[in-house]
């Protein structure tokens, strides 16, 4: 399971607002690489990232190198059901990653076009966001 080593256990929720830094990351692909890119704002959990990573690796069968471009470093807290209001913030339930449109999620290099496209399409089914494959 993906989990960072952090100094503070709990963070504020924040918002999924658009930042301009994503405009500068678009269109910077090396030759022979295939990327899975998000098309909408979302919060992807560590379990979903791990499931997608396993699915892509299973399809690739060591015919290329897979790189994960996102990391779940945002703790999401939740209080148990039927608990009264107050008494502080809940405990950390899972770790997540904020994703913006245009963010590269996974990158494959050194594989054939057919193998990379089939692997990324199988991994895209396990994500809660709309994605596109960029080559």
Are 92 and 9 a contacting pair, CB within 8 Å? Answer: yes
Task: Quote the pLDDT of residue 24.
Answer: 47
Percentage of the chain lying above the pLDDT 70 cut = 86
Task: Quote the pLDDT of residue 135.
Answer: 85
Are 47 and 1 a contacting pair, CB within 8 Å? Answer: yes
Task: Quote the pLDDT of residue 107.
Answer: 94
Task: Report the chain's C-alpha Rg in angstroms.
Answer: 17
Between 3 and 48, the more confident residue is 48
How distant, in Å, are the alpha carbons of 2, 21, 43, 73, 107 from that of 5? 10, 25, 20, 9, 24
**pTM listed for this prediction:** 0.83
What are the residue ranges spanned by the domains of the chain? Answer: 29-134
Selected from 3.20.20.220, 2.30.40.10, 3.40.1520.20, 3.90.1170.10, the CATH number assigned to the domain covering 29-134 reads 3.90.1170.10
Residue 25 pLDDT > 60: no
Task: Quote the pLDDT of residue 5.
Answer: 75
Give the tens place of pLDDT for each residue, 53-66: 999 999 999 889 99
Tokens of 127: 């994500």
Give the Cα separation of 30 and 11 in Å (integer). Answer: 35
Tokens of 45: 């959990």
Between 39 and 1, the more confident residue is 39
Task: Quote the pLDDT of residue 96.
Answer: 93
């Amino acid at each position: 399971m993906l989990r960072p080593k952090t100094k503070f256990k709990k963070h504020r929720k924040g918002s999924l607002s658009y930042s301009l830094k994503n405009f500068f990351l678009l269109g910077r692909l090396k030759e022979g690489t295939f990327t899975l890119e998000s098309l909408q704002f979302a919060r992807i959990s560590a379990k979903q990232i791990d499931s997608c990573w396993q699915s892509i690796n299973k399809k690739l069968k060591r015919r290329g190198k897979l790189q994960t471009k996102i990391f779940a470093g945002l703790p999401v807290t939740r209080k148990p059901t039927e608990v009264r209001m107050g008494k502080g913030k809940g405990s950390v339930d899972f770790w997540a990653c904020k994703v913006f449109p245009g963010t590269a999620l996974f990158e494959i290099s050194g594989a054939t076009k057919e193998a990379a496209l089939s692997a990324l399409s199988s991994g895209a089914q396990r994500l809660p966001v709309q994605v596109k494959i960029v080559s």
